[in-house]
Amino acid sequence: MIVLGFRSDPLTPRYAIVDGVATPLVLLNADSESRLRFPADCSEEAAKVTWLYREFERIFHTHTDIDRVVIKKGEFMQGDNNAKRVASYQEAALLLYCGLHNKPVVTKIYASLGTRSAQVRDHAIARVGQTTRYWDSKMADAVIAAWWGATNP
């Protein structure tokens, strides 16, 4: 089973593609693209969501073997700001894509992924691995989401 894990971010959303059949699990995009950078002329929310949706089309066209999607959703709290709302729009774009293309999709928070913000990097490395470039907590979130999807059919 090939799983795409996704973590929204107002500036640079991240995604991980994990081969859940391999032993040990393999992070298929460890050495390739893992972040989605908005073009400079893409500043309005509607333009960003549209651009991101088209990126999902490209990713799924390139990786036709993706069986499942797991989104590490934002942990909302009282007093959230516009950045978290923008991130939720990104999650909605992926949910829409999956719904229109009959791809199973699940949303998770840290508690249901068996980790915490402070430990997510270490857990991602121990369970699957890490990217060779641009490794950060958001990417670790995407890796853990994909790991969960690969180990919880």
Task: Give the tens place of pLDDT for each residue, 91-121.
Answer: 999 999 999 999 999 999 999 999 999 999 9
Q: What is the pLDDT of residues 20-73, one digit of tens each?
A: 998 999 999 999 999 999 999 998 999 999 999 999 999 999 999 999 999 999
**What are the chain's domains?**
2-151 (3.30.420.10)
Q: Is 141 a catalytic residue?
A: no
* 147 neighbors 68 (Cβ within 8 angstroms): no
Catalytic residue among 19, 80, 136, 141: 136
pTM above 0.85, yes or no: yes
The dihedral over CA atoms of 62, 65, 68, 74, expressed in degrees to the nearest 10, equals -20
Nearest-CA neighbor of 71 among 36, 106, 34? Answer: 106
Helix axes 45-62, 82-100, angle to 10 degrees: 40
Whole-angstrom distance, CA of residue 146 vs CA of residue 71: 8
